[in-house]
C-alpha cells in the first residue's frame, strides 16, 4: 500500500469495522438502515459501521458510499477512527496542482480524475515511486 500521511485540519469520526481495516484505507459506509428511531437513546456508537474498499473494481461501485480514510487499523468488529476531511500527503497517479481529484483504488493513495470528486490537489506530482502530492480531501 502506498503511504498516506494526515496533516491535520480535519474532522474525525468513529465507526466499527465490518472487516479488517488498515490505517490509510479508503472506507465506505456499511451501516444498516433503521437502526436509530425517534428516541435518541436508540443510538449506539456501533450503529456507524464501515469497511475498506479493497480494489479498483470495488472502488468503482463503492466510491459514492465512501466516508473517509481510516486513521487507525482495526480488526472486524472493533472501533476505529475515520478522517472525513483534511489535508493529506498521498502518492499515486500523476496530478497537477489545482486539479480536482477522486480516489479510485483500494486505498486513499490512488489519485484519479474520473468519478466522484473528493478534493483538490494543492501540489502536483508525477506517477513516479516516492513522489507525493498534498491533497485536500472532503467526503460527504
Residue ranges covered by each domain of the chain: 4-138
Average pLDDT of the residues in 18-30: 88
pLDDT digits (tens, 9 = 90+) for 59-102: 666 666 788 888 899 999 999 999 888 888 877 667 788 887 77
Long-range contacts, stretch 5-9, CB < 8 angstroms, 24+ apart: 5/88, 5/89, 5/90, 6/69, 6/71, 6/83, 6/86, 6/87, 6/88, 7/86, 7/87, 7/88, 7/89, 7/134, 8/86, 8/87, 9/86, 9/87
Amino acid at each position: 500500500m502506498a503511504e498516506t500521511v494526515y496533516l491535520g485540519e480535519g474532522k474525525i469520526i468513529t465507526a466499527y469495522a465490518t472487516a479488517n481495516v488498515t490505517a490509510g484505507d479508503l472506507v465506505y459506509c456499511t451501516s444498516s438502515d433503521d437502526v436509530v428511531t425517534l428516541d435518541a437513546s436508540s443510538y449506539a456508537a456501533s450503529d456507524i459501521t464501515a469497511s475498506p474498499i479493497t480494489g479498483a473494481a470495488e472502488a468503482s461501485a463503492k466510491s459514492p458510499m465512501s466516508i473517509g480514510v481510516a486513521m487507525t487499523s482495526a480488526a472486524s468488529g472493533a472501533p476505529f477512527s475515520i478522517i472525513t476531511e483534511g489535508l493529506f500527503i498521498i502518492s499515486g497517479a500523476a496530478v497537477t496542482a489545482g486539479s480536482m481529484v477522486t480516489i479510485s483504488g483500494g486505498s486513499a493513495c490512488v489519485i484519479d480524475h474520473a468519478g466522484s470528486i473528493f478534493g483538490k490537489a494543492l501540489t502536483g506530482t508525477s506517477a513516479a515511486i516516492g513522489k507525493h502530492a498534498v491533497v485536500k480531501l472532503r467526503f460527504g
